[in-house]
Amino acid sequence: MTMQNDAWVISLVGIGLVALLFIYVIAQAGKIAPDPAGVQKKAYALRRPLFWALIVLGIGVAYGTLRTFPIPKQQGALHPAQTVQVIAHQWSWEITPAPIQAGVPIEFDVTSADVNHGFAIFDAHDRLLTQTQAMPGYTNRLIYTFAQPGTYRVLCLEYCGVAHYGMMDELHVVARKGDRQ
List residues near Cu ion by CB under 5 A. 117, 156, 160, 164, 167
Cα–Cα distance measured from residue 67 to residue 80, given in angstroms and rounded to the nearest whole number: 24
Q: Measuring CA to CA, how many Å separate 179 from each of 83, 125, 166, 174?
A: 20, 24, 35, 10
Name the minimum Å distance from CB 117 to Cu ion: 4
Name the minimum Å distance from CB 93 to Cu ion: 10
Judged by beta carbon, residue 106 or residue 160, the one nearer Cu ion is 160
Helix (H, G, I), strand (E, B) or coil at 57: helix
Is the link from the previous residue into 99 a cis peptide, with omega within 30 of 0? yes
Judged by beta carbon, residue 121 or residue 160, the one nearer Cu ion is 160
Name the minimum Å distance from CB 119 to Cu ion: 9
Cα–Cα distance measured from residue 60 to residue 38, given in angstroms and rounded to the nearest whole number: 34
In Å, how far from its chain's centre is CA 10? 52
Name the minimum Å distance from CB 180 to Cu ion: 38
Cα–Cα distance measured from residue 162 to residue 23, given in angstroms and rounded to the nearest whole number: 64
Judged by beta carbon, residue 84 or residue 156, the one nearer Cu ion is 156
Judged by beta carbon, residue 117 or residue 131, the one nearer Cu ion is 117
